[in-house]
Structure 1
């Protein structure tokens, strides 16, 4: 039979980082691709709001320099990242302690050195100058934690995926780690990395998050989260991405849109969030989600006066709504105008009423300073920010639904930027195999012009 006439090889529905990175891999292999996005701009949840010279992320998921896909994804080779200071700061019993990850390479010796409790800036009397009373316990407990971080940094991913699976909170209790270390370091750290305050996440996913933390450095994209989709979109042929296009139905050989009618193709890739994908494909699994609220403040107080410096500050006491906070302009100066300080704080789970007031009260304790004169720049609440990964969780959910119909996104992998990019990598490889284009690596034809609906 003759192949039906088509207008484009692959239609990708959704212009988040998963859809854009898949488009880059396909166009690089000579596959004509059209990316359709219902929103006015690309990026999905990786968006950044601009307010009076500030760059404010809506979700602000933490990245790690150890994420392989940040290095392997075409189009992100030039992504500039800003690193947090090594390890994290932990606020416990009115004092602040530093606890860190192993040095690059995952050596236990590097871990042992980094996990020592250190003093922060000397001006802050609440900083613990020694090891006594540190959140991770005494010297022996610190040595055990350091060795454990060193081991997990060098553990192959395949071995982690073969471990028994249970909720992360249950797994921590069975690891033989002292309770003080769990409550003072591992619980607040994993909650921040997974956006899961209850640690109901699969223990395998939690171990992968710990492995990334122990073998790299926490970081953020310079200029805001939007830099990832912006770089990916910029690397695509002109006219590939079409915003403001609402897809109403999909099949293996076409998509129907409200603006352009039917667009015929050889394959369709759904790269939307899980709920939008299920609306187009009823019966597709929709996970639960972890809500995230990010509150951005500014002050004219000199940034050098903040003892936190360029560190991520966690509340080991869980004495308020803030799970983690940072003077983000110390990490990435491009996020605030000259002479201003940007403090970004994350609330996990359902936020309290009068969230800004509750956050201010909590931050005054965490930073040891008055927050009454701080200006609130934005409060971003995202009810379905991060897909939950409760056990049993398939970290490699199929991306090929049928020949010609594919799906990718963080809901098909791990609920991280790394997971979204990796699922796109898998989907693009499946499409290239099915289209018989695995060996084709030439410049794609010009992006197609979409028709106007009659």
Structure 2
């Protein structure tokens, strides 16, 4: 029989960034905490594979600087050591066979960059203008967009959340921007940031995303996405995190594991992905998801786009955005070799490698036949969908002793996951009334 093998005040199921951030708050308050993770490493979907010296993100969600856009990153213990590597200001837009800088000078903000992008698209010469791409908009349209993004960057979050809610696509149209401006700039940008090619996301969530973009620059963690959860885990007391432990059931005062029997505790925090949470707690609503496929290449002759994020405004193939990531973060590639990472949103095409190579050849303006494919990562449930009406603060307290957190309880972002972990740990501390630990954690031992 499996014997009770561990006691702690709180057991956290899942060692993603939400669960790890909650563990920091609890242990800092003197509450003994055990974090149980079924995988053999922490991080969940924020995973980075190592292949021949390359560091390859499985999903690679984009962050933004400055960190004021991600306050929970600044407030999480251990993340002061996190290094963020920035893309070139703005983005590159591929449209009508040409690439246009959709950004600002290095000393300019994101909103000015957006206005510069629209002006660049409006003034750039076209080989054969089509009816769809004949113009971006009048000077008045451009000024309105620039002013709108500037206001958005300075608008308090509470005011954005009080706006009427629709889909992001409907909101873009209703706000009066020209169709070419929407299709040529805003749609590909939001699709990349939200992992939602059809922009079915809540307009409030889209506004928050555009606000972050207007306030800073896109970036990635140095060393790969895994560095964020790894730093969180390293900052916890020794013996807090246990990997390779699969939880089979949860209750308000215990969890049962396949490997170590029952863990008795005063409270349980479910910090898994939404699908696993729904399996452990039948009746918990599981959202739809946006699938994401990331294809990593290397080559002897790297593209000359620098550290820019390249978006396809024409949607002429499966690739939504691509970048020579080694130009942004050299630590992700060995010996100065280039790493090109490309993201496909939605269901991938049948012959993915061929379709991606053909599309990348057009986007970068070079042959890709000799490019080496390092890895293809397809994640069917990569990002929880945030369709309207979307509650950005879904309850984290299910009942006394049972709590849940994760990006499916907040926004489907790193910031949302961290914030939900902070909300859940605050609820636990309030319910426990814990000024200190009531249990001394015992070492984990194998079931008899």
Q: Taking structure 1 as the reference length, what is the TM-score of the superposition?
A: 0.91
Cα pair distance change 1:360/1:342, threshold 3 Å: same
Q: Contact (CA 8 Å) 1:293, 1:348: kept in 2 or not?
A: yes
State the 1:114 CA deviation. Answer: 6.6
State the 1:109 CA deviation. Answer: 5.8
1:452 aligned to 2:433? no
The partner residue of 1:320 within 317, 320, 323 is 317
1:350-384 CA distance string (max 9 Å, x none)? 00011011000000000000001100000000000
State the 1:388 CA deviation. Answer: 0.5
1:404 aligned to 2:416? no
Q: Tell me the equivalent position of 2:130.
A: none
State the 1:308 CA deviation. Answer: 1.8
The partner residue of 1:91 within 75, 90, 94 is 94
Measure, in 1, the Cα distance between the counterparts of 2:314 and 2:356. 15
Q: Tell me the equivalent position of 2:365.
A: 368
The partner residue of 2:75 within 68, 72, 76 is 72
3-state SS of 2:120 partner: coil
Cα pair distance change 1:178/1:86, threshold 3 Å: same
Q: Tell me the equivalent position of 1:100.
A: 103
1:225-253 CA distance string (max 9 Å, x none)? 00011100100111111111111111111
1:16-70 CA distance string (max 9 Å, x none)? 1111111111111111000001111111000000000100000011111222222
Q: Tell me the equivalent position of 1:23.
A: 23
Measure, in 2, the Cα distance between the counterparts of 1:373 and 1:452. 50
Measure, in 2, the Cα distance between the counterparts of 1:23 and 1:337. 34
Cα pair distance change 1:102/1:172, threshold 3 Å: farther
Asked which structure has the greater RCO (Cα within 8 Å, sep 6+), the reply is: 2
Q: Contact (CA 8 Å) 1:249, 1:255: kept in 2 or not?
A: yes
State the 1:99 CA deviation. Answer: 1.7
Measure, in 1, the Cα distance between the counterparts of 2:374 and 2:438. 43
3-state SS of 1:385 partner: strand
Q: Tell me the equivalent position of 1:291.
A: 291
1:382 aligned to 2:385? no
Measure, in 2, the Cα distance between the counterparts of 1:24 and 1:307. 43
1:332 aligned to 2:332? no
What does 1:107-186 correspond to in 2, within 5 Å? Answer: 112=115, 116-117=119-120, 136-137=136-137, 139-186=139-186
The partner residue of 1:345 within 338, 342, 346 is 342
State the 1:126 CA deviation. Answer: 9.5
Measure, in 2, the Cα distance between the counterparts of 1:245 and 1:308. 44
Q: Contact (CA 8 Å) 2:12, 2:23: kept in 1 or not?
A: yes
Cα pair distance change 1:134/1:78, threshold 3 Å: farther
> Which ranges of structure 1 fall in alignment gaps of 5 or more residues?
120-124, 128-132
Q: Tell me the equivalent position of 1:32.
A: 32
Cα pair distance change 1:126/1:112, threshold 3 Å: closer
1:314-345 CA distance string (max 9 Å, x none)? 00000000000000000000000113100000
Q: Tell me the equivalent position of 1:122.
A: none
Cα pair distance change 1:137/1:448, threshold 3 Å: farther
State the 1:137 CA deviation. Answer: 4.2
Q: Tell me the equivalent position of 2:258.
A: 258
Aligned positions, number: 435
Measure, in 2, the Cα distance between the counterparts of 1:102 and 1:417. 27
More helix by share: 2
Measure, in 1, the Cα distance between the counterparts of 2:110 and 2:45. 35
Q: Taking structure 2 as the reference length, what is the TM-score of the superposition?
A: 0.92
Q: Contact (CA 8 Å) 2:89, 2:113: kept in 1 or not?
A: no
State the 1:142 CA deviation. Answer: 2.9
Measure, in 2, the Cα distance between the counterparts of 1:160 and 1:28. 33
Cα pair distance change 1:60/1:104, threshold 3 Å: same
Q: Tell me the equivalent position of 2:230.
A: 230
Moved more, 200-209 or 67-76: 67-76
